Amino acid sequence: MLTLLKLLKDGRFHSGEALGAALGVSRSAVWKQLQHLEAELNLSIHKVRGRGYQLAEPLVLLCADEISANAPSSAWPVYISDSTDSTNAEALRLVEMGQVAPFLVLSEQQTAGRGRRGRKWVSPFAQNVYYSLVLRIDGGLRQLEGLSLVVGLAVMQALREVGVKGAGLKWPNDVLVGQKKIAGILLELVGDPADICHVVLGVGVNVNMRKAAEVDQQWTSVQLETGRAIDRNYLVACLGLQLQAYLHRHQGGGFCAMQAEWEQSHLWQGKPVSLIAGVSQIDGVVLGVDGQGALRLSVDGVEKTYSGGELSLRLRDDS
């Protein structure tokens, strides 16, 4: 089925006879595969008598060679799949199998993409970027301090590089344009953080997605913001270069070396917010973050810090 898709990806008309000859199957078998493409991958295919079949829009698939050509200095091994449950889950499986870090896992589609706090990450085929970079951490919890915020800076800069000038940050690990989410970050750890462990830097970016009824929050995409479709290979390359630079800075000086830069890009800086932890709610005003990436809030005039993977930050209604 995906071989047929690669024949159609140029967006031109192809006759059923030519497609059948290329695939070594009958025209009726081509027709069945086309139906599966539409149903399973939610692709729109034009069918015109006398001309054949055409994808409604040309498709640029992920390609390790294209990514490398755009970012030759970011030479991580790249594993690309047509579909997986989650790139983070696949990355962790590769670690268990002994794959040496660093390496990068990408997929055209996720069937069980995950966001923070158990949320589903909507992952249509060949529209967005589902990205998991695996790093090995040798002895030193300091190397993990503020790491999700560092990744956020890299994602934000990559988005600005491809034209999303309004991209900014929301603590702890969302990238927004205004109030709309364009990217999210999910870090997962395996091993002993006090000795040797692996951390998966999971990034999901809405790239060419234009509609998604199942998303339960305000969202946007690179294409919606820029008015044009983006080559995802170029965006992956940009993200790799930005991550390489920010991770190098983090390794040398910790998160505190980027604390001020992060605060300058925090869209909710100085805003009245509610911090949600389970059934508890803390109201305060955002002061910034500390040198470890914890949130600094003014609560009834007293500065307090908060950190943890299960916290959620929301703007207050009176903001």
**What is the full per-residue pLDDT of the chain (319 aa) written as tens digits?**
678 888 888 888 898 888 889 888 888 888 888 888 888 887 888 888 888 888 888 888 999 999 999 988 777 899 999 999 999 999 999 999 999 999 999 999 998 876 655 566 677 899 999 999 999 998 767 788 999 999 999 999 999 999 999 999 999 999 999 999 999 999 999 988 778 899 999 999 999 998 866 666 799 999 999 999 999 999 999 999 999 999 999 988 899 999 999 999 999 999 999 999 888 899 999 999 999 999 999 999 999 999 876 788 999 875 4
Q: What is the pLDDT of residue 11?
A: 84
12 is in an annotated binding site: no
The pair of structure tokens assigned to 235 is: 């965006």
φ, ψ for residue 169, nearest 5 deg: -110, 150
Residue 314 a catalytic site member: yes
Question: Which of 93, 271, 314, 316 does the annotation list as catalytic?
Answer: 314
| Residue 29 CA: distances (Å) to CA of 4, 5, 26, 261 | 11, 14, 5, 56
Give me the catalytic one of 116, 211, 271, 316. 116
Q: In the chain, where does DSSP find H-type helix?
A: 2-8, 16-23, 27-41, 64-70, 87-96, 147-161, 222-226, 232-253, 259-264
CB neighbour burial string for 86-119, b if at least 16 within 10 angstroms, e if fewer: bbbbbbbebbeeeeebbbbbbbbbbeebbbbeee
Taking residue 279's Cβ as centre, other Cβ atoms within 10 Å add up to 5
pTM (predicted TM-score): 0.90
Of the candidate CATH numbers 1.10.8.60, 1.10.10.10, 3.20.20.150, 3.30.160.60, the domain formed by 2-55 belongs to: 1.10.10.10
**β-bridge partners, 277:** 280, 311
Other beta carbons within 10 Å of 57? 11
- State how far the Cα of 232 lies from the Cα of 241, in Å rounded to an integer: 14
| CATH 3.30.930.10 domain span(s) along the chain | 64-263
Domain with CATH 2.30.30.100 in the chain: 268-315
Distance CA 33, CA 37 (A): 6
| DSSP type of residue 100 | P
115 is in an annotated binding site: yes
Catalytic residue among 181, 249, 296, 316: 181
Which ranges in the chain are annotated with CATH 1.10.10.10? Answer: 2-55
Instruction: Could you please state the CATH topology (level 3) that the domain comprising 268-315 is classified under.
Output: SH3 type barrels. (2.30.30)
DSSP state of 294: P
Active site residue 160: no
Q: Has 220 been labeled as part of a binding site?
A: no
pLDDT recorded at residue 115: 61
d(CA 142, CA 222): 33
Report whether 88 belongs to an annotated binding site: yes
Contact 312, 302 (CB under 8 A): no
Amino acid found at 126:
A
Chain-centroid distance of CA 272 in Å reads: 28
Is 298 annotated for ligand binding?
no
Q: Is 73 annotated as ligand-binding?
A: no
Spell out the alpha helix ranges (H) of 42-129. Answer: 64-70, 87-96
Question: Tokens standing for 279?
Answer: 């059934």
> What's the token pair of residue 119?
């949320």
pLDDT of residue 117: 52
Using only C-alpha atoms, what is the Rg of the chain? 22
Residue 254, annotated ligand binder? no
Architecture per CATH, domain 64-263, reads as 2-Layer Sandwich (3.30)
pLDDT at 319 (0 to 100): 45
SS3 at position 277:
strand
* The pairing of beta strand 196-205 with beta strand 302-306: unpaired
Q: pLDDT value at position 273? A: 96
Residue 170 annotated in ligand binding: no
